[in-house]
Structure 1
Amino acid sequence: MDHGWVDSMDNELLALETKHTWCVVPLPRDKKVRGCKWVYKVRYLIDGSLNKFKALLVVKGYTQIEGLDYHNNFSPVAKMATVLTILALASVQCWDIHQLDISNSFLHGDLIEEVYMELPKGHPLYGSLVWFWFCL
């Protein structure tokens, strides 16, 4: 595997560890474990040259049942009409515009349900323990 992908996966795991998003625990008997998978993206600069490799570790949430495994699915995003309105307003008012890309922004959300996810293949503890995603 390319070093760019390996580095990107390492950075994703480091971000999860650094933010204390989960802890490694044995799976309780009454809980179900969710699988996981890596999602890979290549980001390019405006001139078409390579910017970076991006690897995201995601829970296979499509196996969940609403009302049983989760009760709400919410992802705050800005509507395109809102973005265009802000850009038009900034243009008319001659405002400076700055862009910000926040890595791992989903880690700052609140989680109500308990989620147990298997560790990704290749992890030193793969197969014996699971990740418990912290809940509030």
Structure 2
Amino acid sequence: MIKEMNALQTNNTWELVQLPKGKFTVGSRWIYTVKVGLDGTVDRLKARLVAKGYTQIYGLDYGDTFSPVAKIASVRLLISLAAMHHWPLHQLDIKNAFLHGELTKEVYMEQPPGFVGQGESDLVCRLKRSLYGLKQSPRAWFGRFSSIV
């Protein structure tokens, strides 16, 4: 959980503010995963902070949802071209991928459970970057990815 919080703070994911009148917050929770190695032993324990995006209201908190999908025919074409021309293929794994997307609408989230500072219990997180669980996160991340690539 501390590693995840460090990644969130390093990425400047949110700022603590007073909740403006007429605005609502999205909850947050921790998701825990046990990562297992090839030999079946526990490789590491992982914690990820996610927003409770299922509480968001269409038209008010977010617009369209988005999920980029590559057609299998396109993937096969790419692999066959690479094989024919002896091109190298590389896999890319972006850690905390959704944290790189920038939000266009204001989203307020409750502070992460277990990480509320003394005297800050009345503050909420104004998200600057997308977070797993938000309805607009895939579009925000893909927009950032497309602009760079």
Partner of 2:33 in structure 1?
41
Matches of 1:81 and 1:16 in 2, distance apart?
Answer: 37
Partner of 1:3 in structure 2?
none
Partner of 2:60 in structure 1?
68
The 5 A counterparts of 1:40-119 are 40-119=32-111
- Equivalent AA in structure 2 for residue 117 of structure 1: M
Segments of structure 2 that go 5 or more residues without pairing to the other structure are 130-149
Contact 1:21 1:107 survives alignment (8 Å)? yes
Give how far 1:92 is off.
4.2
Compute the TM-score of the two structures, normalised by the length of structure 1: 0.76
**Secondary structure of residue in 2 paired with 1:111:** strand
Give how far 1:37 is off.
1.0
Q: Matched residue pairs, number?
A: 127
Residue among 91, 114, 138 paired with 1:122: 114
Identity %, equivalent residues = 49
Contact 1:41 1:55 survives alignment (8 Å)? yes
**Secondary structure of residue in 2 paired with 1:90:** helix
Matches of 2:77 and 2:43 in 1, distance apart?
Answer: 29
Partner of 2:128 in structure 1?
134
**Secondary structure of residue in 2 paired with 1:124:** coil
- Equivalent AA in structure 1 for residue 21 of structure 2: R
**Secondary structure of residue in 2 paired with 1:103:** coil
- Equivalent AA in structure 2 for residue 109 of structure 1: G
Structure-2 change in CA distance of 1:45 and 1:133 (3 Å): same
Contact 2:14 2:126 survives alignment (8 Å)? yes
Give how far 1:58 is off.
0.9
- Equivalent AA in structure 1 for residue 122 of structure 2: S
Structure-2 change in CA distance of 1:53 and 1:129 (3 Å): same
